[in-house]
């Protein structure tokens, strides 16, 4: 589409309201809503739904599970990959697997990780992690020595060449790092602990975070930071707390976030740096529970959810900065009991998730300038997208904050994933608003 002859400068030179209105209508008419919003399409292989689990940081690659209607006591379906050129593609299953799911995609979109499930002994089902690339297809990630029933991937480096996860082994459950050249390598445990779990990885794959514990002992489960040079070092605890969990690490590996728990099961979001150690992020007013979910690329912004207590179903999404502390994001119009964060842009200025509203649970987009808005409102009113019949239930977003994906119900009432690409369209929207003034 070329409309270079109708720039904002050209429009500004005209004083006629008729000309301004004509420019507005011409630009709006030549914008193609189909290029902004796309349903992922009919589920593959007679599946019943497509559920996105993640999106790459740059060229949009959406991954998730193509759900089947098989009645299994495990996730039922197969992993998928979606791109604009190819649409929805099944990644297939490992030999003898009965189902599988795609969980993670690398920042550059070249690698996908997930888990396949198998009938097995002594358990009814066993599971094994996989990594997929276009060159090699689906490749099983080996168990640590002595393991045979369960391993999983928790994080991929930006290039997808380094993976972190956890595996059964002869000496117990253990965090591991995997590369194509070195295979699966156990990371051990913190001193005095008997197991470890890998939970996050830096963009270059050199810093890994997770937790390590010993059942039944005081200060049972401690967060750790691992590098090849320093090995595994503990993060410590906040006063009165005994468990660190759900750890993530910034792109540069310098900031770690997570949630730490005490005997009352209430948790507090925390942030760790080498200079400050572990620091609690506090709570929203009147609440006693906060859970850290995501952090910006430099670790300066943390996002998560807060509750009155761990028992309370009501929760509110929050955004934390060092200068502003923890600030609640609120709820969509008509809501007031539920909002969660599912995605945060690299610069920390955009968040996405789900919130209750007068129309039920809806996907939202939050920005510093406009606060929380439903994704439907953004797409329909800012970009002219026709969403008749669609219900957008939840959203996450890419690192640059310009591509969203999530769960939805299509006009036929079937669960279907969707993608909204605001690249280019956002620029047109700004011009459109300027021209309309």
What is the reported pLDDT for 313?
86
Task: Tell me the pTM.
Answer: 0.88
247 to 38, 55, 209, 305, 432: CA distances (angstroms): 33, 20, 6, 15, 42
What is the reported pLDDT for 429?
47
The rounded average pLDDT for each run of 10 residues, N- to C-terminus, in the chain (437 residues) is 30 35 37 73 94 94 94 88 96 96 97 94 86 96 94 97 97 95 96 96 98 80 97 95 94 97 87 97 94 98 93 93 97 97 98 98 97 97 95 97 97 96 66 42
Buried b (16+ CB within 10 A) or exposed e, 132-150: beeeeebeebebbeebebb
Q: Select from 232, 288, 236, 230 the least CA-distant residue to 258.
A: 236
Q: Domain segments of the chain: what residues?
A: 1-30, 34-305+385-428
Give residue for tokens 């690409």: 421
Q: How do the residues of the chain divide into helix, strand and coil, expressed in percent and rounded to 5?
A: 10, 45, 45
- What is the secondary structure of 318-354 as a DSSP string? EEEETTTEEEE----TT--SBEEEEEE-TTSSEEEEE
183 to 145, 285, 336: CA distances (angstroms): 12, 48, 48
What is the reported pLDDT for 218?
58
What is the reported pLDDT for 10?
35
Q: Which helix (H) or strand (E) holds 430?
A: helix 425-436
User: Domain 34-305+385-428: which topology?
Assistant: Neuraminidase (2.120.10)
Q: What SS3 state is found at 107?
A: coil
For 32, counting Cβ atoms within 10 Å of its Cβ (0-12 exposed, 13-18 middle, 19+ buried), the class is exposed
């Amino acid at each position: 589409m070329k409309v270079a002859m109708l720039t904002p400068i050209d429009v500004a030179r005209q004083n006629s309201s008729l000309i301004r209105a004509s420019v507005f209508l011409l630009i709006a008419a030549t914008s193609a809503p189909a290029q902004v919003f796309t349903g992922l399409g009919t589920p593959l292989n007679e599946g019943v739904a497509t559920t996105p689990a993640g999106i790459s940081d740059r060229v949009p690659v959406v991954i998730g599970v193509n759900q089947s209607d098989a009645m299994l006591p495990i996730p039922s379906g197969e992993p998928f990959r979606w791109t604009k050129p190819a649409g929805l593609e099944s990644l297939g299953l490992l030999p003898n697997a009965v189902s599988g799911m795609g969980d993670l995609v690398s920042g550059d979109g070249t690698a996908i990780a997930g888990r396949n499930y198998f009938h097995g002994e002594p358990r009814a089902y066993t599971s094994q992690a996989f990594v997929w690339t276009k060159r090699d297809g689906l490749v099983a990630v080996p168990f640590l020595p002595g393991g045979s029933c369960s391993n999983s991937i928790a994080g991929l480096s930006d290039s997808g060449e380094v993976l972190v996860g956890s595996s059964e082994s002869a000496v117990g459950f253990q965090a591991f790092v995997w590369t194509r050249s070195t295979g699966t390598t156990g990371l051990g445990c913190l001193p005095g602990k008997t197991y470890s779990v890998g939970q996050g990885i830096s963009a270059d794959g050199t810093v890994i975070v997770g937790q390590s514990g010993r059942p039944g002992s005081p200060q049972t489960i401690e967060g750790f930071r691992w590098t090849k040079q320093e090995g595994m070092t503990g993060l410590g605890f906040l006063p009165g707390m005994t468990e660190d969990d759900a750890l993530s690490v910034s792109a540069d590996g310098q900031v770690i976030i997570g949630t730490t728990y005490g005997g009352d099961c209430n948790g507090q979001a925390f942030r760790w740096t080498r200079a400050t150690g572990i620091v609690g992020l506090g709570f929203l007013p009147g609440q006693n529970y906060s859970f850290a979910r995501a952090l910006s690329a430099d670790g300066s912004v943390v996002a998560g959810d807060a509750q009155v207590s761990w028992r309370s179903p009501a929760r509110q999404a929050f955004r934390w900065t060092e200068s502003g502390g923890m600030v609640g994001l609120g709820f969509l119009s008509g809501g007031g009991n539920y909002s969660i964060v599912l995605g945060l842009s690299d610069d920390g200025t955009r968040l996405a998730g789900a919130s209750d509203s007068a129309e039920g649970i809806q996907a939202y987009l939050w920005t510093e300038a406009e606060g929380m808005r439903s994704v439907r409102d953004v797409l329909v009113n800012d970009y002219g997208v026709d969403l008749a019949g669609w219900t957008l239930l939840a959203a996450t977003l890419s690192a640059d904050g310009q591509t969203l994906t999530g769960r939805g119900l299509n006009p036929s009432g079937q669960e279907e994933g969707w993608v909204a690409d605001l690249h280019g369209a956002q620029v047109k929207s700004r011009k459109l608003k300027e021209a309309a003034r």
